[in-house]
Amino acid sequence: MLVGDIGIANIKAVGASAFASCAVSVQGNTYCWGDDEHFGKLGGGMAQGAVTGPQRVVAGSAASGDKSGSFLYNINSIKIGSVSTCAISNNNNFYCWGHNSNGELWYRDWE
């Protein structure tokens, strides 16, 4: 299936799952879109339902060299799963967001 123009130029990395996708631009800006029902895996700060176009990923507590304003920046690669998303920055920092019911985000708050 051919997908139309999503409004992001110069893509260097893409991640996709069954119901959502993310892309990283050459500049390191990170965008996600698709179904975000209940999990927050699209990085908007909370679960948002369906996101029909690319939205920038919120930086949260990212290191200062990996954020531009309130958005995640300087990202090199990205992977998206069914309930969470992870990215690696050009500074070799590792970030994950989304659902953590079974420790998907690498910290133990699920007990």
Spatial CA neighbour of 74 closest among 12, 9, 15: 12
Tell me how far apart the alpha carbons of residues 98 and 100 are, in angstroms, rounded to a whole number.
Answer: 7
Share of the chain above pLDDT 70, in %: 79
pLDDT at 2 > cutoff 50? no
Q: What pLDDT score does 107 carry?
A: 52
What global pTM score does this model have?
0.80
Q: For residue 49, which of 62, 58, 57, 40 has the smallest C-alpha distance? A: 40
pLDDT per position as a tens digit, 48-91: 677 778 889 989 888 999 999 999 999 999 998 888 889 999 99
Q: Is 90 exceeded by the pLDDT of residue 40? A: no
The two structure tokens encoding residue 23: 């892309």
